[in-house]
Chain A
Amino acid sequence: MLYQPWPWYVAGPLIAIIMALLILMGKRFGMSSNLETLCSIGGAGKYSDYFKVDIKSKRWNLLVVLGSVIGGFVGANVLSPNPAVDISDDTVAKLNELGFESAGKSYLPTELFALESLSDPKVWAILLVAGFLVGFGTRYAGGCTSGHAISGLSNLQRPSLIAVIGFFVGGLIMVHLLFPLIFAV
Chain B
Amino acid sequence: MKRLVYILLGSFLGVVLYKSEAASWFRIYEMFQFDAFHMYGIIGSALTIGVVLVFLIKKSKVKSFSGEIIQIPDKEKSFARYIWGGTLFGLGWALAGSCPGPIYILVGAGYWPMVIVLFGALLGAFVYGVLRGKLPH
A65 and B100 CA atoms in complex are apart in Å by 10
The reply to whether A174 and B43 contact each other, CB–CB distance below 8 Å, is no
Q: Is A131 an interface residue (CB 8 A)?
A: yes
The prevalent SS among residues of A at the interface is helix
The reply to whether A66 and B7 contact each other, CB–CB distance below 8 Å, is yes
The reply to whether A67 and B54 contact each other, CB–CB distance below 8 Å, is no
Contacting A at CB under 8 A, from B87-128, are 87-101, 103-114, 116-128
Closest to A73 in B: B108
| Closest CB in chain A relative to B33 CB, distance in Å | 6
Q: Is A77 an interface residue (CB 8 A)?
A: yes
Q: Cβ of B23: which chain A residues have Cβ within 8 Å of it? A: 72
Closest to A3 in B: B19
Q: Cβ of B123: which chain A residues have Cβ within 8 Å of it? A: 128, 131-132, 135
The reply to whether A108 and B25 contact each other, CB–CB distance below 8 Å, is yes
Closest to B96 in A: A130
The reply to whether B125 and A21 contact each other, CB–CB distance below 8 Å, is no
Which of B51, B77, B86 lies in contact with A163, CB distance below 8 A?
B86
Q: Is A74 an interface residue (CB 8 A)?
A: yes
A151 and B43 CA atoms in complex are apart in Å by 11
The reply to whether B41 and A8 contact each other, CB–CB distance below 8 Å, is yes
Closest to A124 in B: B116
The reply to whether A26 and B68 contact each other, CB–CB distance below 8 Å, is yes
Contacting A at CB under 8 A, from B3-30, are 3, 5-30
Q: Cβ of B46: which chain A residues have Cβ within 8 Å of it? A: 11-13, 15-16, 19, 150
Please, could you name 24 A-B residue pairs with CB atoms under 8 Å apart, sorted by A? Answer: A9-B41, A12-B44, A24-B70, A39-B126, A63-B7, A64-B7, A69-B104, A69-B105, A69-B107, A108-B24, A127-B113, A131-B92, A131-B121, A132-B121, A134-B117, A140-B128, A140-B135, A141-B81, A144-B101, A145-B99, A157-B74, A166-B85, A171-B28, A174-B90
